[in-house]
């Protein structure tokens, strides 16, 4: 079984830099999606191409906005299951923005500005790190800031197609101290998707704050879908 890791908005392949070495140590092969965060539909298509290129069936893993991506890409016939990591899990016809509006406002909204084209520009100041990603090691945060991309509004407003979680098993790693996606929203989405829920007491940056928990959940999912 092959793993495809899908980062969140404004992220990159480096978003999984704390997870990939642990997967390698465990002998688990993986590919890391590296997209520009400009279009949900384009990102879904790119991930489906990565599934095509894999030499085995695939388990998709998505963090944050990456959850919306794997929800669409996961209908590929070679995808066996889905692992959501503090992620958005839309239903058919839903957008991330729609889901955002249905739950209490998350603190992350205070730490973004908008470009003239509607793009979302994160605040990468030390104060933002302290408020949102306090449990991310300083050297990881610095690399993350240097690799940051600006996200187009379209990734949050484009609507999801038929969701893969309707007929694929799924797991959800829920961050109970998340300041990006309200834990209440995470619980609702994971439950609606019928996901097996695992909680971690971390910020939204679960792949860096608790990479061992991510790999443990992936391993459990692999064991289940391989039987």
Please report the DSSP string for 121-176 in residue order. EE--SHHHHHHH-TTS-HHHHHHHHHT--PBPTHHHHSPP-S-GGGTS-EEEEEET
Instruction: Tell me the CATH number at 22.
Output: 3.40.50.1820
Reported as a single tens digit per residue, the pLDDT across 123-150 is 777 787 788 889 988 888 777 666 677 8
Rounded to an integer, what distance in angstroms lies between the CA atom of residue 2 and that of residue 22? 15
Q: Which of 192, 195, 217, 221 is nearest to 206 (CA)?
A: 217
pLDDT of residue 167: 96
Reported as a single tens digit per residue, the pLDDT across 64-96 is 999 999 999 999 999 999 999 999 999 999 999
Catalytic machinery residues:
64
Angle between helices 66-73 and 40-53 (to 10 degrees): 60
Q: Which of 194, 19, 206 is nearest to 91 (CA)?
A: 194
State the CB neighbour count (10 A cutoff) for residue 73: 28
Q: How many domains does the chain have?
A: 1
State the CB neighbour count (10 A cutoff) for residue 104: 8
**What is the span of the domain harbouring residue 146?**
2-226
For the chain, list residues with pLDDT below 50: none
Q: Give the pTM.
A: 0.94
């Amino acid at each position: 079984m092959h793993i495809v890791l899908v980062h969140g908005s404004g992220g990159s392949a480096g978003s999984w830099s704390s997870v990939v070495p642990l997967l390698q140590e465990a002998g688990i092969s993986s590919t890391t999606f590296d997209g520009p965060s400009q279009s949900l539909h384009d990102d879904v298509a790119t991930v489906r191409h990565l599934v095509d290129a894999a030499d085995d069936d695939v388990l998709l893993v998505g963090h944050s906005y990456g959850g919306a991506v794997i929800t669409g890409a996961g209908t590929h016939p070679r995808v066996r299951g889905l692992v959501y990591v503090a992620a958005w899990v839309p239903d058919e016809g839903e957008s991330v923005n729609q889901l955002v509006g249905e739950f209490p406002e998350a603190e992350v909204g205070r730490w973004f500005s908008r470009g003239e084209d509607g793009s979302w520009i994160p605040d990468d100041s030390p104060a933002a790190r302290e408020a949102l990603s306090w449990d991310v090691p300083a050297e990881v945060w610095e690399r993350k800031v240097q690799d940051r991309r600006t996200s187009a509004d379209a990734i949050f407003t484009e609507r999801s197609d038929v969701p893969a979680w309707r007929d694929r098993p799924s797991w959800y790693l829920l961050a109970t101290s998340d300041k990006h996606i309200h834990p209440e929203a995470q619980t609702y989405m994971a439950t609606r998707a019928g996901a097996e829920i695992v909680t971690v007491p971390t910020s939204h940056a679960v792949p860096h704050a608790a990479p061992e928990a991510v790999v443990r959940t992936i391993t459990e999912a692999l064991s289940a879908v391989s039987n």
